[in-house]
Amino acid sequence: MNIANVEQIKKNLMKNLFLLLAISVTFLFSSCEGPQGPPGPPGYDNLGQVFETNINFNEGNNYSRLITFPNNIEVFESDVVLVYLLEDVVNGYDVWTPLPQTYFLNQGTLLYTFDHTFLDVNIFLDANFNLNTLGSDFTNDQIFRIAILPSEYANADLTMDELMNNLHIETSDIEILPN
**pLDDT (tens digit, 9 = 90+) per residue, 98-130?**
999 999 999 999 999 999 988 899 999 999 999
Q: Residues 6 or more apart from 38 whose CB is under 8 A from it?
A: none
Taking CB atoms within 8 Å and a gap of at least 24, the contacts of 159-168 are 159/96, 159/98, 160/84, 160/94, 160/96, 161/96, 163/48, 163/50, 163/82, 164/50, 166/47, 167/46, 167/47, 167/48, 167/49, 167/50
In a domain, 44, yes or no: no
Q: Number of C-alpha atoms within 13 angstroms, CB side, residue 153? A: 19
- Residue 50, SS3 per DSSP: strand
Same domain, yes or no, for 72 and 9? no
Q: Mark whether 20 and 55 lie in a shared domain.
A: no
Q: Is residue 43 part of a domain?
A: no
Residue 148 sits in the same domain as residue 78: yes
Judgement on whether residues 93 and 152 belong to the same structural domain of the protein? yes
**Residue 37 located in a structural domain:** no
Please give the mean pLDDT across all residues of the chain.
82
Element (H, E) at 13: helix 3-30
- Is 35 contained in some domain? no
Q: Based on the fold, state whether residues 102 and 144 are members of the same structural domain.
A: yes
Cα–Cα distance, 81 to 77 (Å, whole number)? 10
Statement to judge: residues 68 and 111 lie in one domain: yes
What is the share, in percent, of the chain residues with pLDDT greater than 90? Answer: 41
Given pLDDT bands bounded at 50, 70 and 90, which one contains residue 30? low
pLDDT of residue 84: 94
CA 156/CA 147 separation, integer angstroms: 12
Number of domains in the chain: 2
Same domain as 15, residue 60: no
The larger pLDDT score, comparing residue 63 to residue 77, is at 63
Q: Is residue 38 included in any domain, yes or no?
A: no
Same domain, 24 and 54: no
pLDDT digits (tens, 9 = 90+) for 35-70: 777 776 665 555 678 889 999 999 999 999 999 988
User: Nearest 5 degrees, angle CA 97-CA 92-CA 47?
Assistant: 50
Partner residues linked to 144 by β-bridges: 53, 85
- Which structural domain range is residue 3 located in? 1-29
Q: Provide the CATH number for the domain around residue 87.
A: 2.60.40
Residues 15 and 54 occupy one common structural domain: no
CA 136 to chain centre: 33
Q: Report the half-sphere exposure of 174 (CA within 13 A, side-chain side).
A: 20
Is residue 41, in this structure, part of any structural domain at all?
Answer: no
